[in-house]
Structure formats: structure tokens, C-alpha cells
Amino acid sequence: MHESEKKIDEYLSNLIIRGDGKFEGDSTRDGVPLAHPFNSATDQGFKASLAELWELSAKPVLDALTLMNPSPEVKPHIWWCPTGFLSFLPLHAAGLYHSNAPLGSKLSDFVISSYTPTLSAILDRSSPLLPPSTPPTLLAIAPSSFGQSYLPRIADELRHIKQVMEGTLTVKTLIGEDAALENNLAHPTESALLLAGNDRLSLAKLMSLKIAHGDLAFLSACPAAKADEQLSDKAFNLSAGMLVSGYRGVITTMWPVKDQTAPQVVRDVYRHLRQFKLDATEAAHALHLAVQTHKERYCAGRR
């Protein structure tokens, strides 16, 4: 699997290099023009790695659990707890992606996938939340601090969140230098939320907290679920730390997301969460639906 991990990481990292291939509405990250990865020679290697994941990992699990009967209405929810180099691979995307692939040959056709750093994190999640002393609040953080990447579409994300959540809950924002996100891959426990006045809320500090009312954290600004190769057996990163600290659910990115994509996915996730009455246990379902919508929108734009 080590070779597959390298192929996939190289392929997905290419999403942030300059290039000539452009498609309308899907062409930048941090304001930098992007090459369209499906025009590169690495595409076949990427598809081969996802096929290997399907044949060697995902499909055997579905077979063992008798989950090979896809349902368009209700899909079971699987929690993956990978270790070693498997931690670096997108298990949720395992499948056959070549042009003549048969129907029902992708993991997402059968189940909704989530990841967990430990089994105890899932058990803790099943406990009911303590009743809050104040009405529920959504805190939206828009990072843009000194030394951090500029995210030109972050304002779009905030606008979408406010529009979707209007009349449902209070939305508070931290914008610009008031907050940012720092992901330290070499020393993951030093990853941090950068607060006003250069204060840092590190992963180590976050993991020591016991957050009684943390329902859902959505980290869309950077790949907060990615770790360093030398720490492949240590499943802790910023997103995992938020689960350990008490959040019942965390949505985050494993690789860079294009500027134009993130606001659309954020909007659709919150739309679905509102339909689910803001139940954070439905976050994985909401993300699954939002990603499927984006895939359909993206494929339609390429025809």
C-alpha cells in the first residue's frame, strides 16, 4: 500500500500546482490557477490505486458485512479506523473509475464512510449531549492571518452559512486576523487554531479540554486530517484532536480543496443539516449528499 499512498498523494497534491488546463468555476486554489488533474498522465495511476483499495480493502469488508446491495434511499454508515500507511489513503473513494466500470463498483454506492482515530471516540459519541445553558450557536471562523495562505472564497462560505442558517441559530464570526488555522504535519500536536493577539490553541491543549457542548466542527480551510508519513501509526491530527476533546462530529479535508468547490460543498452540507434538524450525528450523511451533488454538478460541467 506504500506505493499506492505515494501515487494518490502526488496526484491530489497536483491540485495546487500551476498549469494551463482550466475549467469554468473550478480553476484556482489560494487564488493560484490550477492544472486540471484529469489531463495529466498520473490519472491512470490514481485510478489504479483506487481500484486496488476497492479490491483489497473496501470490497472484502462489504462482502463480510453483507453490504453489497446498494440502496438509493438509505445507506449504512461505516466508521473506518485505519492504521499505518492505510491512514494516508482515501478509503471512502475506493472503487473502479474507468469508463466502462460496472454499476455498483464504488464504496460510496453502498455505504457512507467516516473515519475515527480510536474506537472509544465512537462510543463517547453515542452519549447524549448535556443540555446547553444558552441557545445553540454556530461559530464561523474565516482565517487570514500573517504568514497564512489567503483563501479568496472564504467570504462566500460565510455568506452561504448565514443564508442557510437564518432563523435557525445564531451565527457568530471571527474574520481575518482574529483567527486562522495552522496545521503542523511534522509535529501534529503543535497544530493550532491561531487566535487574535498571536495566541495559539494547540492540538495538545485542545485534546486536554472536555467540551461538553461541542456538537460539530467543520474545518474546510486546509487538509486538517492529513498527517506526516513518519507518524503513520499515530492517528492524531487537528480533526482527531477535536473528536478527543468532546466534539461529536468533525468534517474536514484530507487534501487541498479548490477555492470554487469549498463554498458549494459547505452550502450543501448546511442545507442538509438543516433538513436533519441540525442533528450532528447526520453530518456524515449531509456530507455524503453534498459531495454527490458536487460530483453531478462537476460532471455536467465537463460534458
Residue reference for cell 471571527: 174
| Cα–Cα distance for residue pair 115/206, rounded to 1 Å | 19
Residue 97 burial class via C-beta count within 10 angstroms: exposed 0-12, middle 13-18, buried 19 and up: middle
List, for residues 162-183, the tens digit of each pLDDT value: 888 887 877 876 655 544 445 4
Judged by average pLDDT, the poorest of 48-57, 191-200, 285-294 is 191-200
Fold of 128-302: Rossmann fold (3.40.50)
What is the structure's pLDDT at 19?
A: 35
Question: Considering the chain, what percentage of its residues have pLDDT values greater than 90?
Answer: 19
What is the structure's pLDDT at 296?
A: 84
What is the structure's pLDDT at 8?
A: 62
Q: Which amino acid is at 162?
A: K
| Cα–Cα distance for residue pair 12/37, rounded to 1 Å | 8
Q: Which amino acid is at 263?
A: P
Contact 80, 57 (CB under 8 A): no
Greater pLDDT, 186 or 253: 253
Which has the closest alpha carbon to 220: 249, 188, 255? 255
* Residue 79 clears pLDDT 80, i.e. is over it: yes
Contact 249, 125 (CB under 8 A): yes
Confidence of residue 17 (pLDDT cuts 50, 70, 90): very low
Greater pLDDT, 16 or 144: 144
What is the structure's pLDDT at 4?
A: 59
- Name, in order, each residue with C-beta under 8 angstroms of 186's C-beta and a sequence gap of 6 or more: 228, 230
List, for residues 233-273, the tens digit of each pLDDT value: 444 567 777 787 778 888 988 877 777 888 889 999 999 99
Paired sense of beta strands 112-115 and 77-80, if any: parallel
Residues of the chain with CATH 3.40.50: 128-302
| Cα–Cα distance for residue pair 159/163, rounded to 1 Å | 6
Judged by average pLDDT, the poorest of 23-27, 147-151, 200-204, 286-290 is 23-27
Which letter does DSSP use for residue 104 in this model? S
Assessment of whether the complete model's pTM goes beyond 0.85: no
Most confident of 8-22, 31-45, 244-258: 244-258
Confidence of residue 22 (pLDDT cuts 50, 70, 90): very low
| Cα–Cα distance for residue pair 37/89, rounded to 1 Å | 18
Average pLDDT, the chain: 72
